[in-house]
């Protein structure tokens, strides 16, 4: 069964405990060949939303959760899959102890482009920090361009 790979604000363990209460943290890892970016929603959401795009030699830090079926629908609802905001795709993540593992993620159903709000970007950086992302990864998040 694939694990859920959180890369945005769901990196925050406290938030995940609220959104998917029966889903324990399994490990952390990296999505190799993918890049964190932002897209769509600039006017509706106060700024662009986090998503992933393929890009060689890039990687995205993820927290991996073992999400049972009954929590999947809760998580999908939080991510707006029923509204068409995000969709699920399957990928592979690299972990230190278990190597290559199958995962699923939510990706934005919109074009890449636009800037996230400063508030949203700060939430993402704090979530990455709480999940144990390396300091240079968190610093990169904090230094990205954003709207005020």
Q: Which strand (E) or helix (H) includes residue 17?
A: helix 13-19
> For the whole prediction, is pTM greater than 0.85?
yes
Q: Domains in the chain, please, with CATH?
A: 3-142 (3.10.490.10)
In this prediction, what percent of the chain has a pLDDT beyond 90? 86
Q: How many beta carbons lie within 10 A of that of residue 15, not counting itself?
A: 17
Q: Judge contact between 37 and 47, C-beta under 8 A.
A: no
**What pLDDT sits at residue 117?**
92
Indicate which residues carry an active-site annotation.
79
* The pairing of beta strand 25-39 with beta strand 99-108: unpaired
- pLDDT for 96 beyond 70: yes
- pLDDT for 103 beyond 70: yes
pLDDT tens digits along 46-82: 799 999 999 999 999 999 999 999 999 999 999 999 9
Beta bridge pairs of residue 36: 52
* The pairing of beta strand 3-6 with beta strand 99-108: parallel
pLDDT tens digits along 13-45: 999 999 999 999 999 999 999 999 999 866 556
Mean pLDDT over residues 97-111, rounded?
95
pLDDT tens digits along 119-135: 999 999 999 999 999 99
Residues marked as binding for substrate? 120
**What pLDDT sits at residue 148?**
80
Residues marked as binding? 120
Q: Which strand (E) or helix (H) includes residue 25?
A: strand 25-39
3-state secondary structure (DSSP) of residue 26: strand
**What pLDDT sits at residue 131?**
97
Q: In angstroms, rounded to a whole number, what is the distance separating the alpha carbons of residues 122 and 142?
A: 7
């Amino acid at each position: 069964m694939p694990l859920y790979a959180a890369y945005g604000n769901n990196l925050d363990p406290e938030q995940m405990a609220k959104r998917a209460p029966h889903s324990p943290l399994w490990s952390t890892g990296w999505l190799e060949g993918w890049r964190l970016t932002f897209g769509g929603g600039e006017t509706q959401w106060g700024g662009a939303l986090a998503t992933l795009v393929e890009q060689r030699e890039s990687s995205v830090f993820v927290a991996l959760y073992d999400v049972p079926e009954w929590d999947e629908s809760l998580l999908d609802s939080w991510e707006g899959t029923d509204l068409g905001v995000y969709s699920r795709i399957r990928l592979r993540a690299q972990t230190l102890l278990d190597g290559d593992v199958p995962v699923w993620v939510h990706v934005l159903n919109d074009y890449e482009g636009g800037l996230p709000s400063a508030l949203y970007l700060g939430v993402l950086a704090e979530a990455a920090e709480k999940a144990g992302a390396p300091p240079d990864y968190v610093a990169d998040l904090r230094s990205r361009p954003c709207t005020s």
